[in-house]
Amino acid sequence: MKIDPSGLPATPQSRPTKAQAAAASGVDGAAAPATDGAQPMGQVRTLPGTPGGDFDAARVAAIREDIRAGRYQIHPDRIADGLLASVRDLLDPEAKP
């Protein structure tokens, strides 16, 4: 099977940058509010009704620092055990260990 290059554009299509999108929409460089409920990366939002939720900023900062320093250890056996327990619970919620 051959691909006909005549149907392809000469320059690759790219997505506009945030500044270009803001200029096109008439916004003066400020980020437009998301209308679909999506949060920008780097921001954490807790669920309504959960004061503080389960998010521990200090713990996240410590894990990030461990990752940067190369000290963070991944334990695949623990991950596998947790996944298997989740699947077992989903398949048979009545059977608790």
The terminus-to-terminus CA distance of the chain in angstroms comes to: 56
Say what the pTM is. Answer: 0.36
Residues 6+ apart with CB under 8 A from 44: 55
The one-character DSSP state at 81 is H
pLDDT higher than 90, residue 85 = yes
What per-residue confidence (pLDDT) applies to 87?
95
Mean pLDDT along residues 62-72: 95
The one-character DSSP state at 30 is S
Which of 44, 48, 77 minimizes the C-alpha distance to 60? 44
What per-residue confidence (pLDDT) applies to 19?
66
Angstrom distance (rounded) from CA 88 to CA 13: 46
4-19 residue pLDDT tens: 656 555 555 666 666 6
Position 29 confidence tier, pLDDT thresholds 50, 70, 90 = very low
pLDDT higher than 60, residue 34 = no
What per-residue confidence (pLDDT) applies to 94?
79
pLDDT higher than 90, residue 69 = yes
In this structure, which amino acid lies at residue 53? G
